Amino acid sequence: ETGVTQTPRHLVMGMTNKKSLKCEQHLGHNAMYWYKQSAKKPLELMFVYNFKEQTENNSVPSRFSPECPNSSHLFLHLHTLQPEDSALYLCASSQEGFMNTEAFFGQGTRLTVV
Amino acid sequence: TQLLEQSPQFLSIQEGENLTVYCNSSSVFSSLQWYRQEPGEGPVLLVTVVTGGEVKKLKRLTFQFGDARKDSSLHITAAQPGDTGLYLCASRLAYSGAGSYQLTFGKGTKLSVIP
């Protein structure tokens, strides 16, 4: 497999559930990201991992918990979400250290919280 | 935080027509990237512009970076249904830390090309 792969593609969960989103990159990149894409807002950066260390947490509620066990895998653990958290969650990777480096995105997980 | 304003927000045109979409900021861009996102997919990079006044062409797509590096445009000639998608501009902001840059996106222009 090549590129950035996200699973699952679709997820419906209740507000009391616990679920996890998975992202895997086969590009040898050193940075991985979680973005949230809602209907009426621009792509919002949630978390950044650079060399497996979290370097950015953009005021994301604690009900979202990221995990980066190695440079190829990234998880987003979800717990007691709200309906307004329904959105497309996109994972991306890049080779950081270069100003104009390209971000490679997965296909996203369409999350619906009921 | 540098805000990227994109216009128009929505655009619906007939196949064969030309169109231009815009990306503006009150701040100077260090560089700018354009991405296209098709339904059900993640964004894919189209081009990176770096130098003020730069013009890049990608088949029927022409990208221009403003002289002052505060605006950019994307012009599509003879649009085709395959051009349908969300066009996003993005800029990298340097932040303190390990020499990394945060990629910030505009809201995008949603383009529909009707056959």
pLDDT single digits (tens) A1-54: 569 999 999 999 999 999 999 999 999 999 999 999 998 788 888 998 887 677
> In A, what residues contact B, Cβ < 8 A?
4, 31, 33, 41-43, 45, 48, 50-51, 53, 55-56, 90, 92, 94, 96-97, 99-100, 102-103, 105-108
Please judge whether B95 and A56 are an interchain contact, meaning their C-beta atoms are less than 8 angstroms apart: yes
Which pLDDT score is estimated for A59? Answer: 83
Nearest to A99 among B35, B101, B106 (CB): B101
Per-residue pLDDT of chain B (115 residues; tens, 9 = 90+): 558 999 999 999 999 999 999 999 888 888 899 999 998 899 999 999 999 999 999 999 999 999 998 999 999 999 999 999 999 999 876 554 444 567 888 999 999 999 9
CB burial of residue B78 (10 Å; 0-12, 13-18, 19+): exposed
Q: Please answer yes or no on whether B45 and A96 come within 8 Å at the CB atom.
A: no
Helix (H) or strand (E) segment spanning residue B112? strand B109-114
**Residues 6 or more apart from B52 whose CB is under 8 A from it?**
B65, B66, B67, B68, B69
What's the pLDDT at B101?
61
Confidence of residue A81 (pLDDT cuts 50, 70, 90): very high
Using 50, 70 and 90 to split pLDDT, how confident is the model at A114?
A: very high
Task: Report the percentage of chain A scoring pLDDT > 90.
Answer: 69
Cα angle value A24/A30/A31 (rounded, 5°): 70
What integer pLDDT is reported at residue A65 of this predicted model? 94
Yes or no: say if A47 and A55 are a contact pair by the CB < 8 Å rule.
Answer: no
A64 vs B91 pLDDT, higher one:
A64
Give yes or no for residue A96 having a pLDDT over 90.
no
Q: What's the distance, Cα to Cα, between the start and end of chain B in Å?
A: 40
Per-residue confidence (pLDDT) for residue B96, from 0 to 100: 42
Mean of pLDDT over chain A: 90
- Give the bridge partners for B89, in sequence order: B34
Distance of CA B115 to the CA centre of its chain: 23
Q: Which two tokens stand for residue A11?
A: 């997820």
Residues in chain B closer than 8 A to A29 (CB atoms) = none
